[in-house]
Amino acid sequence: MSKHDTQHSPEPVASGLWQPEPEHPDSIGLRTLGFWLYMMSDAMIFAGLFAAHGVYLRAYGGSDITAAEVIDPAKGLIPTLLLFTSVLAFGLASVALKNDDRSRMLRWMGASWILGLAFLGEEVWEFSGLAGEDAVPQASAFLSDFWTIVWVHGAHVAVGLIWMAAMLVQIAREGYTEATVGRFLNLRIFWFFQAVIWVFVYTFVYLMGVS
């Protein structure tokens, strides 16, 4: 740590011009900000899809399959419950993180993962039933939209599940580090976000679809 002048800078250096040790930005906070920004753009994707949904609400074309025939809000409650329990389990996993209890956290995250997988399974089962009744996305614009909006959400759940599986392995192996905790917090944002989206899907597609 020395102070030196060269021919190039004959003036004495004024203090307060440089700060050799930069303020370290809080790394987890920085990651979270970026992830929130990404979530904002993802939210715009759903905004676009829901705008489209408004347009295709009754766009049956020549098809005689109506919304009332394919959408059953009561049936939709089962995946809703599965997904919400999964989110709850994930919340309990973050509580365990706060209490620094790794095994409990892993168990809750595992539970969340299984519930998420059950949600996807339920969706697959429900939609294969629809396909059996010829209510396929090719039948009308309404059905195209119905399948797309539910399955874009489903794709988010699938991505979340892959991520969560990797997270489970990583936290089991490496414990709590700045990287794993930051990633876990982002996953929490993502998992809660897709649940919020499901609330919208359930409200706008399932409840309003048949009203």
Partner 1 sequence: MFMDLQGPWNPLLGRLPMLLNLKYTNPFIAAAFAMVVIGGIVVVVALTYYRRWGWLWREWLTTVDHKKIGIMYLIVGLVMLFRGFFDAFMIRTHQAIAVGASSPGFLSADHGYLPPFHFDEVFTAHGTIMILLAVTPMLVGFMNLIVPIQIGARDMAYPFLNAVGLWLTAVAAVLVMVSLFVGDFSHAGWVGLTPLTELANSPTVGVDYWLWLIQISSIGTTVGAVNIIATILKMRAPGMTLMRMPIFSWTALATNIVGLTSFPVLTVALFLLTLDRYIGTHFFTADGGGNFMMYTNLFWIWGHPEVYFVVLPAFGMISEIVPTFSQKPLFNHKAMIVATMAIAGVAWSVWLHHFFIMGSGPVVNSFFSISTMLVGIPTGVKVFNWAFTMVRGRVRLETPMLWALAAVLLLIGGGMTGMMVAIPAINYVTHNSVFVVAHFHNMFLIIAFALFGAVTFWWPKAFGFRLDERLGRIFFWLFWGGSVFVFVPMYALGFLGMTRRLAYISHPSWWPLLLLEVVGIGLYIASLAAFVLQLVVSIRDREKNRVRGPDAWGTSRSLEWATHCPPPFYNFAATPVVHSYDEWAWRRERNLVSLVPDYYADIHMPKNSMVPLVLAFFVGVFGFAAVWRIWWLAGLALVGVIASLIFRMFQKDVDYTVSAEEVERIERAHLAEMADEDTEAAHRSADVASNARPLTQ
Helices (H), 99-177: 102-132, 141-174
Which residue's CB is nearer to partner 1, number 24 or number 98?
24
Which residue's CB is nearer to partner 1, number 80 or number 140?
140
Q: Are 210 and 68 in contact (CB under 8 A)?
A: yes
Assess 127 for contact with partner 1 (CB under 8 A).
no
Per-residue contact flags (x/-) with partner 1 for residues 161 to 180, judged by CB under 8 A: -x---x---x---x----x-
Which residue's CB is nearer to partner 1, number 51 or number 74?
51
For the beta carbon of residue 146, count every other beta carbon within 10 angstroms. Answer: 24
Single out the segment in contact with partner 1 by CB under 8 A; choices: 55-63, 99-107, 120-128, 199-207.
Answer: 55-63
Task: Kindly determine how many residues on this chain lie close enough to bind partner 1 according to the rule CB under 8 A.
Answer: 61
Assess 145 for contact with partner 1 (CB under 8 A).
yes
Whole-angstrom distance, CA of residue 91 vs CA of residue 109: 9
Burial degree of 197 (CB within 10 A; 0-12, 13-18, 19+):
buried
Which residue's CB is nearer to partner 1, number 82 or number 139?
139
Assess 140 for contact with partner 1 (CB under 8 A).
yes
Assess 64 for contact with partner 1 (CB under 8 A).
no
Amino acid at 99: N
- Render the burial of 66-85: b for 16+ CB within 10 Å, e for the rest: ebeebbebeebeebbebbeb
Assess 11 for contact with partner 1 (CB under 8 A).
yes
What is the C-alpha end-to-end distance of the chain, expressed in Å?
A: 74
Whole-angstrom distance, CA of residue 186 vs CA of residue 134: 39
The binder of partner 1 chosen from 106, 118, 141, 172 (CB under 8 A): 141
Q: Are 143 and 136 in contact (CB under 8 A)?
A: yes
- Cα 78 from chain centroid? 19
C-beta of 7: minimal distance to partner 1 in Å? 5
Assess 41 for contact with partner 1 (CB under 8 A).
yes
Q: Which residues bind partner 1 (CB under 8 A)?
A: 1-9, 11, 13-23, 25, 29-30, 33-34, 37-38, 40-42, 44-45, 47-49, 51-52, 55-56, 59-63, 137-142, 144-145, 147-148, 162, 166, 170, 174, 179, 183
